Amino acid sequence: MKPAERYTILVVDDDATLANALRDFLRKDGHQVELALSGDEALAVYDRTPGIHLALIDLMMPLMDGITLMDKLHERNPDLAVMIMTGYGTIETAVESMRHGAEDYLTKPIEPDVVRKKIGRVLEIFGLRNRVAELESARGDGSPAFDALIFVSPAMQKIVERARTVAQTDASVLLLGETGTGKEMLARAIHGASERHAKPFVAVNCGGLPRDLVESELFGYRRGAFTGAYADSAGLFASAHGGTIFFDEIGETPKETQVKLLRVLQDHEFRPVGATRPVPADVRVIAATNRSLAVLRAELLREDFYFRIATVVLEIPPLRSRAEDVLVLAQHFVRNVSERCDREISLHPSALDLLLRYSFPGNVRELQNLIESVTAVSKDDPQAITDRQLKPLLQSVPAGPASSVLQETLALDQLERMAIERALELSRGNRTKAASLLGVSRDTLYRKLRDWKLEVTDS
């Protein structure tokens, strides 16, 4: 967390000594701190103090417990971040409080380093959410064609600004980007914002064109041109007349086909197979590839053809380099699924932590599939998507932070260890009974004990 970032934190605990010590510690870290010794006092402080970012609430307090206070604060502000403080003996209730909306928990006695790290993690997410909200509110630009593109990151803003500019021309565009980054969506947006928007947008998968039928597929044919040609057929260029033709994975196009396409782009006409006269070609070309520009030019495309289709080159950055977009896209997909399924679906902070650390080899498409998959196997209403539901669907679970947004171990990993320790305590070290309490097999418990390096002797 940057030193310049100052947050207002509400500390609520009926133990005045602990509350004051926590206040002094947080103030030394540069935060503004409000103090309350009861639930009613906390509500009064919150009502008269604008801009509280985080509440640290003791779980066990007289008259009004921590969960009740959290519910009342969330009635006032559903987006308020809350962390529960709890003693070791009430860890099960702490877990329950996270299901009710707490971002994380702190165990007593409070350890300064743990407090600093966990608060830093929660406030970083808070800051990221605020930035996303600000950028989303400023995203309206009067270009409806680009509304389908969900982004707030500076990297994508630069790309889309260039796309808006080139949309007003007829220049050929080459889109670069990994699989799943949304190249076709950007191509459709460029077409939709152009003067050709009322005409067809025709997408062509170059890798799917059969080599022996490429010419007839692209340019059409006349009746009798070859065996089986029983009637005239308009090709893809004729279908896109007046509009835009989008060549996806242009690098898969055979060199001999590139020669024919080059002639169309140069002469603005083509000849259907079996025809004696050329046909005008009023078509804008947008091409895309998941290959690098160096490979595309050196190995896959003829130089003359490359320069014809790459008047403007736009490279879409991978999702792993755009933390802001991971958040806004995940929330967008969750909202869409929630509306479609008529269920209340949300992302638990643990899921957000995991998504922000994941490398997304499949980019935006993979993120959408993750949300679709994890909601398809549940009928919970409400459903809070957690990291444990997402992990089995990931290609590889991140071992450490891939982004500077989050730097700490997920809270639920610590909860797992605490739950195991608690079950062993209740069963007096009997692993069979502990496994039963946890609802897992004995083998699973043994593996977890090894993972956590917990040495326990059966009684």
Per-residue pLDDT tens digits of the chain, which is 459 residues long: 333 457 899 999 999 999 999 999 999 988 999 999 999 999 999 999 988 989 999 988 988 999 899 999 989 988 788 998 887 556 666 667 777 778 888 888 888 888 888 888 788 777 766 665 665 555 554 568 888 888 888 899 899 999 999 999 999 999 999 999 999 999 999 999 999 999 999 999 988 888 777 888 888 877 766 777 677 777 899 999 999 999 999 999 988 889 989 989 999 998 888 777 888 899 999 999 999 888 998 889 999 999 999 999 999 999 999 988 898 899 889 989 999 999 989 888 788 888 988 999 999 999 999 999 999 988 888 888 988 899 988 877 665 443 333 333 334 455 566 667 766 766 677 777 777 656 566 777 777 777 666 665 554
Against a cut of 0.85, is the pTM above it?
no
Q: What is the pLDDT of residue 118?
A: 85
Instruction: Tell me, yes or no, whether 300 and 328 share the same domain.
Output: no
Tally of domains in the chain: 4
Structure tokens at 83: 């962390």
Cα–Cα distance between 375 and 385 in angstroms, integer?
Answer: 8
Instruction: Tell me, yes or no, whether 300 and 333 share the same domain.
Output: no
Instruction: Tell me, yes or no, whether 113 and 159 share the same domain.
Output: no
Specify if 161 maps to a domain: yes
Specify if 447 maps to a domain: yes
Parent domain of 235: 154-316
Instruction: Tell me, yes or no, whether 298 and 218 share the same domain.
Output: yes
Express each pLDDT in 293-352 by its tens digit.
889 988 899 999 999 999 999 999 999 999 888 988 998 899 899 999 999 898 887 888
Instruction: Tell me, yes or no, whether 101 and 164 share the same domain.
Output: no
Instruction: Tell me, yes or no, whether 327 and 236 share the same domain.
Output: no
Residue 308 sits in a domain whose CATH number is 3.40.50.300
Residue 327 sits in a domain whose CATH number is 1.10.8.60
Residue 131's contacts (CB-CB under 8 Å, 6 or more residues apart) are 152, 324
Q: What is the pLDDT of residue 88?
A: 59
Instruction: Tell me, yes or no, whether 330 and 295 share the same domain.
Output: no
Cα–Cα distance between 337 and 370 in angstroms, integer?
Answer: 12
Specify if 388 maps to a domain: yes
Instruction: Tell me, yes or no, whether 122 and 86 share the same domain.
Output: yes
Instruction: Tell me, yes or no, whether 130 and 211 share the same domain.
Output: no
| 375, 336 contact by CB (below 8 A) | no
State how far Cα 192 lies from the chain centre: 25
Instruction: Tell me, yes or no, whether 334 and 290 share the same domain.
Output: no
Instruction: Tell me, yes or no, whether 187 and 259 share the same domain.
Output: yes
Specify if 207 maps to a domain: yes
Last residue of a domain, one of 282, 316, 350: 316
| 189, 148 contact by CB (below 8 A) | yes
Instruction: Tell me, yes or no, whether 224 and 263 share the same domain.
Output: yes
Beta pairing partners, 83: 56, 104
Express each pLDDT in 200-256 by its tens digit.
999 999 888 887 778 888 888 777 667 776 777 778 999 999 999 999 999 999 888
